């Protein structure tokens, strides 16, 4: 391999995919910044408080999980637990079989992407339909989402129009409004035929047992207006202590995720439909899913469990913008994915140990994160973990020679002196492919090695100055 | 699956056991997330009407204006909550067909649905639906136009106030403007699975 895996992927990315991802993420980021900073005098204060709330939850899951379970049961919800992806999928299937159900409509949930639920159910003969427009397009294309909030950020309208034509949803038409109307017409009858509606949850209040869903399209509402059974698949870290905390977190999620003050639909669901209501689920199930989260909790990187899946760190990340989501080979791309995906691999950490290296540690992800996760620190911890476990790192330039050079003062001095020669060499003709590729688009700055050492030697030794250097 | 419960909870306990200290819950007020400047000293209805416009929703205070709007849009066949119909019917003239039972087998027949709201939020231009006040979840969702009848006294100023008022209802929905998506090339399209037009009729 010439480069690291993620760089290789970026190098081979189609130009229009790169453009779509770049534009989409940049726009998302700029709108978010404007909204947060125009309206709040100190948005960073909000992020810090929200981060503390979620960290508190993560570090007290041992008491909060049984508490929320008890509350939900009191609300008439049936609570299930799934340690693994397989167990979570089996739980959904079990609930469906018990009801004699054969059709399920799904709203967008990241945890069901982790468990590949749709795929599993289809193999079991269950008609499974994604209803979020982006996820629906991903499903008919047998593709994967490339962003956690905007799943088809990598596709343009012409590709989508071709897919719709192929699926018999009308003659080729790439007008986004037509595409949306066609999906509307097709899907609304599917909801009405379905037996079960499946959602995730953005937040769960321990105090009231309410789950909160944050959406724009109205598909999750439809899932819960048309079907008789609601299943919510929820990662164990989604809790917040009180309803009170939702005011702040909802504010931050909408602004950070889609640059909205509040999403179009915010749904607070605490149980089956009320007695007089003609529409909606008579039965509600919650499946709490672990699938690797307890291992993350046991690691030095547990802060990543604060994540509220807003996607802001993807939008701002220079690596994500160039490489697109699929480069991360995981359900979670971007900075959050570079931390979470290798950890969720558990024993197979090595397979994704390269992801934490695909970062310049610029820190932009930490600055935008609504729950203030120190992502760059976590990336460093994971790099260290990979090093300690002796995981090979194909594609990274060998640093052995550099280490030798930098740790031998004599060799170093000699190299500095020799470096001056570079200023007189036609470097673009040197037979070093990496240097050639680099120089094809840039000019090497003039070599000025040794200046720092000179300055260091010559500078006056005052007590204050020497204290600073220790 | 009760095995899974035990194994998850014991792994959680095991993971947290080595922590010498647990992060404390911060002491804060949700006031920090309220746009106070926007609300200062203003009438809730005025703010609500202004803010719902920003998200492409419509606020009306006169049933006659509502009927006018529906007629202008060509939305003549719809559903109305039976509890509201006696007061609204006199405003609907010739040419309208209004049903008070929502028949899910004819979901495409209804161009509008009129249901009661449980309240509204001024700061964001949001109407609040809950399960007890909504006569039919489908009628408030499937038609192209949704009209939420909001009681003027139930307009909350901001999100934290509305959170505090969630109560015991099992299905509270905040609706802020028409349903929308930007999935295709980031272009905003209104009217995806839910209403393409969201109207709030504010009454005293
Ligand atoms: S890590 Fe932070 S910025 Fe990234 S998706 Fe999660 S909450 Fe959003």
Per-residue pLDDT reduced to its tens digit, A32-55: 777 777 777 788 999 999 999 999
**CB pair distance less than 8 Å for B142 and A188:** yes
DSSP string over A134-182: HHHHHHHTT---SSSSSTTTT--HHHHHHHHHHTTSSS----HHHHHHH
Segment A246-265 mean pLDDT: 91
- Once rounded to an integer, what is the mean pLDDT over residues A248-252? 93
What are the residue boundaries of the structural domains of chain A, listed by start?
6-294, 408-468
Contacts of B164 in chain A (CB under 8 A): 243-244
* pLDDT value for A467: 46
Cβ–Cβ below 8 Å for B32 and A80:
no
Fold of A6-294: Rossmann fold (3.40.50)
ipTM value for the complex? 0.96
Say if residue A395's pLDDT is above 80.
no
- What does the alpha-carbon distance between residue A163 and residue A133 come to, in Å, rounded to a whole number? 13
Burial of residue B131 (number of CB atoms within 10 Å: 0-12, 13-18, 19+):
buried
Domains of chain B by residue range: 33-203
Between CA B122 and CA A253, with CA A263 as vertex, the angle to 5 degrees is 110
If you search the block for the tokens 């090979």, which residue do you land on? A392
Fold entry, domain B33-203 = Rossmann fold (3.40.50)
Q: What is the pLDDT of residue A33?
A: 74
Taking CA atoms only, the protein residue closest to ligand 1 atom 4 is A313
Mean pLDDT of chain A: 90
Residue appearing with tokens 């170093």: A412
Q: What would the pLDDT profile of B5-48 be if each residue is shown by its tens digit?
A: 999 999 999 999 999 999 999 999 988 888 777 777 889 999 99
- State residue A435's pLDDT score: 75
**A430's tokens:** 């040197």
Number of Cβ atoms within 10 Å of the Cβ of A347: 7
The reported pLDDT for the residue numbered B70 is: 97
The model's pTM: 0.89
pLDDT in tens, A334-365: 999 999 999 999 889 999 999 999 899 999 99
Which of B14, B22, B127 lies closest to A59 in space, CA to CA? B22
pLDDT at A259: 84
Q: d(Cα A396, Cα A285) in Å, to the nearest integer?
A: 47
Which pLDDT belongs to residue A188? Answer: 93
- Collect all residues with Cβ–Cβ distance below 8 Å to B56 and sequence separation of at least 6: B177, B178, B190, B198
Distance CA B46, CA B120 (A): 12
- Which pLDDT tens digit goes with each residue over A178-230? 999 999 999 999 999 999 999 999 999 999 999 999 999 999 999 999 999 99
In the prediction, which pLDDT does A2 show? 59
CB neighbour burial string for A409-433, b if at least 16 within 10 angstroms, e if fewer: eeebeeeeeeeeeeeeeeeeeeeee
Is the CB of residue A178 less than 8 Å away from at least one CB of chain B? no
- DSSP for residue B122: T
Q: Which residue has the higher pLDDT, A87 or A418?
A: A87
**Residue of chain B minimizing CA distance to A289:** B8
Q: Tell me, what DSSP letter sits at residue A441?
A: T
List all residues of chain A from 135 to 164 with a beta carbon under 8 Å from chain B: 137, 150-153, 156-157, 160
Q: Which residues of A204-226 are buried (b: 16+ CB within 10 A; e: fewer)?
A: bbbbbbbbbbbbbbbbbbbbbbb
- Chain B nearest-CA distance from A360, in A, is 27
Beta-carbon separation of B173 and A183 below 8 A: no
Range among A10-14, B174-178, B185-189 rated most confident: B174-178
Residue ranges of the alpha helices (H) in chain B? Answer: 2-16, 36-39, 44-54, 63-73, 85-88, 159-164
Q: How far apart are CA B166 and CA B187, in angstroms?
A: 33
Distance from CA of B203 to the nearest CA of A (A): 23
């Amino acid at each position: 391999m010439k480069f690291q895996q993620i760089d290789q992927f970026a190098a081979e990315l189609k130009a229009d995919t790169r453009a779509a991802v770049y534009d989409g993420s940049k726009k998302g980021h700029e709108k978010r910044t404007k909204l947060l900073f125009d309206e709040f005098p100190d948005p960073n204060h909000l992020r810090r408080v929200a981060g503390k709330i979620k960290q508190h939850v993560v570090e007290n899951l041992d008491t909060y999980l049984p508490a929320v379970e008890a509350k939900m049961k009191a609300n008439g919800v049936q609570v299930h637990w799934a340690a693994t992806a397989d167990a979570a999928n089996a739980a959904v299937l079990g609930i469906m079989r018990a009801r004699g159900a054969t059709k399920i409509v799904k709203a967008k949930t990241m945890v069901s992407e982790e468990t590949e639920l749709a795929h599993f159910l289809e193999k079991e003969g269950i008609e499974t339909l994604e209803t979020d427009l982006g996820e629906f397009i991903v499903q008919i294309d047998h593709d994967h989402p490339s962003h956690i909030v905007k799943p088809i950020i990598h596709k343009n309208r012409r590709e989508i129009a071709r897919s719709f034509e192929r699926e018999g949803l009308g003659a080729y038409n790439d007008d986004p409004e037509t595409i949306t109307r066609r999906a509307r017409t097709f899907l609304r009858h599917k909801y009405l035929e379905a037996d079960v509606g499946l959602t995730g949850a953005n937040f769960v209040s321990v105090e009231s047992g309410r789950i909160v869903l944050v959406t724009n399209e109205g598909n999750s509402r439809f899932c819960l207006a048309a079907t008789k059974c609601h299943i919510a698949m929820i990662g164990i870290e989604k809790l917040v202590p009180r309803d009170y905390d939702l005011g702040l977190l909802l504010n931050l999620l909408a602004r950070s995720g889609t640059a909205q003050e509040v999403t179009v639909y915010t749904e607070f669901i605490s149980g089956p439909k009320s007695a007089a209501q003609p529409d909606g689920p008579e039965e509600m199930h919650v499946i709490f899913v672990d699938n690797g989260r307890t291992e993350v909790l046991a690691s030095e990187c547990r802060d990543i469990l604060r994540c509220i899946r807003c996607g802001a760190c993807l939008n701002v990340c220079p690596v994500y913008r160039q490489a697109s989501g699929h480069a991360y080979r995981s359900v979670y791309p971007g900075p959050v994915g570079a931390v979470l995906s290798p950890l969720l691999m558990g024993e197979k950490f090595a397979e994704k140990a390269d992801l934490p290296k695909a970062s310049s540690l610029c820190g932009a992800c930490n600055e935008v994160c609504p729950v203030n996760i120190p992502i760059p620190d976590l990336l460093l911890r994971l790099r260290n973990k990979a090093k300690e476990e002796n995981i090979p790192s194909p594609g990274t330039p060998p640093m052995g020679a550099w280490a030798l050079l930098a740790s031998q003062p004599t060799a170093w001095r000699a190299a500095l002196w020799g470096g001056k020669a570079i200023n007189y060499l036609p470097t673009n003709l040197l037979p070093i492919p990496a240097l050639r590729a680099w120089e094809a688009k840039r000019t090497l700055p003039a070599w000025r090695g040794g200046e720092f050492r000179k300055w260091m030697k010559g500078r006056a030794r005052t007590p204050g100055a020497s204290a600073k250097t220790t | 699956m009760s095995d899974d419960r035990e194994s998850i909870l014991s792994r959680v306990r095991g993971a947290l056991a080595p922590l010498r200290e647990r992060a404390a819950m911060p002491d804060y007020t949700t006031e920090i997330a309220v746009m106070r400047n926007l609300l200062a000293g203003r009438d809730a209805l005025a703010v609500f009407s202004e803010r719902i416009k920003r998200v492409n929703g419509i606020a009306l205070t006169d049933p006659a204006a509502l009927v006018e709007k529906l007629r202008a849009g060509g939305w003549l066949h719809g559903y109305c909550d039976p509890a509201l119909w006696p007061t609204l019917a006199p405003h609907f003239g010739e040419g309208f067909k209004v049903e008070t039972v929502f028949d899910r087998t004819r979901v495409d027949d209804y161009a509008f649905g009129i249901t009661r709201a449980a309240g509204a939020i001024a700061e964001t231009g949001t109407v609040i639906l809950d399960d007890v006040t909504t006569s039919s979840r489908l009628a408030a969702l499937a038609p192209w136009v949704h009209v939420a009848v909001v009681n003027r006294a139930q307009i909350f100023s901001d999100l934290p106030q509305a959170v505090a008022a969630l109560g015991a209802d099992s299905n509270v929905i905040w609706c802020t403007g028409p349903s929308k998506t930007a999935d295709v090339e980031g272009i905003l399209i209104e009217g995806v699975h839910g209403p393409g037009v969201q109207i709030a009729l504010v009454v005293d």
